Structure 1
Amino acid sequence: MRAPKGIRDLVIGNRDVDIKNTLDNSWMIPPETYREEGPCLVINSKETESQCWMGVLLAREQYLNAPNRDGKRGVKSSAVANVLWLVEGADYPPSVWRAFDMAAFRTLREVQPGTARAADFFRQNLETPVPREVIEALLFDQDDPMKRLRKNQGARGVLGPEGIALLSDTFGNGLLQEMGRGKLPPRTFIAIKPRNDVERQKLEEIGAIDA
């Protein structure tokens, strides 16, 4: 059952509740919440461990630091003991973005045309599985993002002559396993360079790189 939205993020038990997320227990509480010592649903996400914690904290005066320039107040480290934890150390799927340099990704999104952008991205991320959603975010302004990966006028056609094979779960997955590189999950791509002459020959045979 979904909690309705009220003046703040949620209404639970007829109370307006703020939701605050952090990576390090440093939630920032706005004036409208701490003036009333209102409840906050606080979430702590540990990206490196892919675990999260969720609990309830009342925004009491004694739990908060001095206001910043925006009037918001951070939760004191000593006040974390006052959180009523509802979820502790729950596992969640790793973010698909963890494997990528986001500063470089944002820069690449400005590259035109889309085919050059896709080719540059795969050059920078060799041997890294890339989910389709990452490709779609990279090629956000293209009418047909997947067309920019094809051999004809796409990234495969650019990378193949450079000795870089662009494979996917539907094109080359069996060969990847044969080469000991593991099976790609659905809707995933990977760019590789052959590690030896045997791999080069196999990739040439399927047309993934130029002979």
Structure 2
Amino acid sequence: MKRSLPDSLLREGHPDHALLALLAAEITRRSGGPAALAQRFPAMLRQCIDDVIMTPKTGRRAYEELEKTEKTYIGTRVEIELRAMLDLPKGRLDTLILGRDVDIKNTMGNNWMIPTEAVDQPCILVAADEARACCYLGLIVARPEYLTAGQNKDAKKSLAAGGFAHILWLLRDHPYPANFWRNLAPEVVARIFAGKSGNQRMANLFREVQDRRVTRDVVAAVARQQDFMRRIRSDQGRGSRDLLAREGILLLCGHYDADLIKSLGLPHCGPSDFISHRPRAGNAVELAAEHGFLLGSAEREEAPNLPGF
């Protein structure tokens, strides 16, 4: 998305304000409130993109590596998932909100393509900026004067430069989960997935990627197994925790090891996140031991079975 966006003109007195304010309030209500929208929407968008990139199966690590048809499908997937997240029905356009037909447009670039049937209709505008890990969610009435004069071969038009000022933003330049694989070197990704078993791949992951939060979705993708959480636990000396402990590497869980993660000065991890760390200073090793981690061995009282993960 463009780095510099104009201030929105959507306020009382603007011809589109009343309608878009109503639609925005309904979207926010259906998402569970402003805080829930700010959390659920970015996660949904990240999942839509990652499910098409399919790093574990394809070895691809970025949106730019997708085929043209796959990039197009992301827009369809976002439309479907957004309707599901907000529990909205299909309409003559992409959805119905408060009885109004609304189109849903997604872009991974700098602009949206507006079809002829959406002109003069309200549109939900979705955008993801993979390079900066930012996302956008806005509303606009796609009036002809907001659109470019030129059109593509499908008669679709883009927003004109001045059209961006007529967007009512729900989320603008909002952080969303970065593509975990994007900034990993190809050789690192290859080493992670070279493991023949789930335990080996999991150990490779946390051996290669240390001091960085790893989400549950990444763990599932690497494990490639139904009971993927078993790979993350001690398992009678065979689990990833055991393998890494013998090498002097801690594998910590945001739910059970939050105090130790904080004490070691590691990045914050949510309850479903994980992080690995190799203590170097003596006091860090002692701190780990106080929390039950005996590095250099696999002897550690196993954490509970991580319910709800």
TM (norm. structure 2) is 0.53
1:163 aligns with 2:248: yes
Shift of 1:124: 3.0
Task: Determine the structure 2 residue equivalent to 1:87.
Answer: 170
Indicate conservation of the 8 Å contact 1:167/1:208, yes or no.
no
Task: Determine the structure 2 residue equivalent to 1:101.
Answer: 181
Indicate conservation of the 8 Å contact 2:250/2:277, yes or no.
yes
More strand by share: 1
Percent sequence identity is 29
Please give the alpha-carbon distance, in whole angstroms, between the structure 2 residues aligned to 1:138 and 1:70.
Answer: 40
TM (norm. structure 1) is 0.72
1:145 aligns with 2:228: yes
Determine which of 97, 111, 115 is the counterpart of 1:26. Answer: 111
Task: Determine the structure 2 residue equivalent to 1:126.
Answer: 210
Q: 102-111 vs 127-136, which deviates more?
A: 102-111
Post-superposition CA distance 1:137-192 (Å, at most 9, x none): 443x3121111112332221222222211011344433333334476432221100
More helix by share: 2
Secondary structure (helix, strand or coil) at the match of 1:5 reads coil
Please give the alpha-carbon distance, in whole angstroms, between the structure 2 residues aligned to 1:86 and 1:182.
Answer: 30
Please give the alpha-carbon distance, in whole angstroms, between the structure 2 residues aligned to 1:158 and 1:207.
Answer: 13
Indicate conservation of the 8 Å contact 2:213/2:268, yes or no.
no
1:7 aligns with 2:92: yes
Q: Structure 2 unaligned runs (5+)? A: 1-29, 31-86, 298-309
Task: Determine the structure 2 residue equivalent to 1:73.
Answer: 157
Indicate conservation of the 8 Å contact 2:211/2:267, yes or no.
no
Q: Structure 1 unaligned runs (5+)? A: none
CA-based RMSD: 3.6
Determine which of 189, 196, 204 is the counterpart of 2:281. Answer: 196
Task: Determine the structure 2 residue equivalent to 1:63.
Answer: 147
Instruction: State the one-letter code of the partner of 1:21.
Output: N
Please give the alpha-carbon distance, in whole angstroms, between the structure 2 residues aligned to 1:49 and 1:114.
Answer: 29
Number of residue pairs matched? 204
